[in-house]
Amino acid sequence: MVPSRLRLVAVAAALSLVFGAACSGSDDADDAGGSTSGTGTTAPASTGVTTPDDVLRDCPAGIDTAGVIPARGSAADAGIHGTITLAVSHPTEGAGAAAAAIAAGYRVRFAAVNDAGGVEVGGRRYALALEARNDDGRPDRTAANVAAAFGPDGTGAFAAFGLVGTANVAAVRDDLAGWCVPNVFPVTASAAVSDPADPWTVGAPVVLETTEAAALAAHLELARPGARLALLAPTGDDGDRIEAAYRAAVEGTSLSVVAVQRYPAGVDTDVREEVAALAASGADVFVDAAVLLSCPAAVRLADEIGWAPFTVAAGSCASAALLVQAGPAADGVLAAANLMDPASSVWAGHDRVVAYRAAIEAWSADDADSADGGGPGVDPDDPMVALGWTMGDLFVRALAASGRVSRSEVAAALTSLDVSDAGLVFDGIGLVTGEGDHFLGESARVVRFDVGDSSFSPVSEIFAFEGAAAVPPPLRPGP
């Protein structure tokens, strides 16, 4: 089904929140590089780079177990020791509201955990609850929502979870750290939010901008050595980061960036002149990092003027909902991903995809008035739902590995992860954090878009950049 223009704009706006392209803040792109050999389930790294004592050093007494409510009545009778409340802030209406699909994914995962008797931590079982607020995608609203949950007069949730947008996260990161609150999996492709000097924050398992550029460059070096790249990107900080990432990615290779065109981002900015200029450069690879409806328009325009490059979709442009709007011209477009696309028939029989779909089916059949919500409306083919499910699954694993339900223990577990089979992450990709590395989007496979079924399937092996190896120094977080 081709989405309506209104729905398409909402999806595109939500993608732009995640990838930073329409709601810029002070970002620094980022990435990491290294091994793909995550093994087993969640297990703190043997070196234990962050300890609870490290995290709590400057925290007020009594703050460590805030947000955990002892169970009473039937919950206690069922063996539940308490409920862990996570504060959530994201757009729920208007432009960007499609970002709520991420929340739908982790809601379903947490509901499945609760239905199975909760998550076991240190021999006790806990239920998971969400305290959700709408922020309309505005950083000032995110800040107000976070203060309502964790400030001096706040409701006292345990942790912030899945905050959406680079600028939104930047607006609250220092406050959360000052209040000694874990900032769990903020959703952005920028590494600026995952400063290793901040023990409270670990970004979501989203492919980072620099990982994307490095993986695609590595693939092109193998498939099209000597390729000449032409980049279309928005003006402003977001486009600056993308351009810097691709220029850094081709260093030391046979590839080169021969042309760059920047344009002022809008819902449907006309990029005809920019595409024509890129075609005239003689480039044989077109990197389309345009945002919103300019993304598919650029692919169509290249086809219309007879330019037939290898096309790469970057950032928020790497969306089936957008690329399908370009029609046949988008068939074969390349992108970088770390999650299985649930819309692709390639993964229909994969055990983790089967479990994911079964959980959504159970949720959809549930009563909306039940404790965990439930009801129809969650699309298992939506990649944002798949991302949310993966975030929820990874948090459950980190929580179980923490040994005790406290903010400091959970923060320590999150900063010493080594997980290889969370959610819908590709087999063989490890989600690893450790000393100097709080980035989870450091590995990717190159995927190919099939316009016929509007899905992505892998065409490469795993490219891994653990330890911030793919992050140019100017794009690394911190001072």
Tens digits of residue pLDDT in 305-328: 999 999 999 999 999 999 999 999
On whether the CB atoms of residues 283 and 229 are closer than 8 A, the answer is yes
pLDDT at residue 79, rounded to an integer: 92
On whether the CB atoms of residues 313 and 207 are closer than 8 A, the answer is no
Q: For residues 458 and 156, which has the higher predicted lDDT (pLDDT)?
A: 458
Q: Map out the domains of the chain with their CATH numbers.
A: 35-206+342-474 (3.40.50.2300), 209-334 (3.40.50.2300)
Q: Could you give the 3-state DSSP secondary structure of residue 105?
A: helix
Tens digits of residue pLDDT in 374-431: 566 799 999 999 999 999 999 999 999 998 999 999 999 999 999 999 999 999 999 9
| pTM for this entry | 0.88
The CA dihedral of 57, 61, 67, 69, to the nearest 10 degrees, is: 140
Segment (H or E) for 14: helix 5-19
Q: Over the chain, what is the mean pLDDT?
A: 86
Please give the average per-residue pLDDT across 435-450, as a whole number: 93
Say yes or no to pLDDT of 26 above 90: no
pLDDT at residue 427, rounded to an integer: 97
pLDDT at residue 226, rounded to an integer: 98
pLDDT at residue 194, rounded to an integer: 81
Q: For residues 45 and 200, which has the higher predicted lDDT (pLDDT)?
A: 200
pLDDT at residue 195, rounded to an integer: 81
Phi-psi region of 449 (alpha: psi -120 to 50; beta: other; left: phi over 0): beta
pLDDT at residue 265, rounded to an integer: 86
Question: Where do we find the tokens 């957008």?
Answer: 322
Task: Point out the least confidently predicted range of 16-20, 248-252, 337-341.
Answer: 16-20
Question: Where do we find the tokens 């993986």?
Answer: 215
Catalogue the E-assigned strands of 91-210. Answer: 119-121, 124-134, 159-161, 183-184, 201-202
Tens digits of residue pLDDT in 202-246: 999 999 999 999 999 999 999 999 999 999 999 998 899 899 999
Please give the average per-residue pLDDT across 347-357, as a whole number: 97
> Rounded to an integer, what distance in angstroms lies between the CA atom of residue 408 and that of residue 414?
10
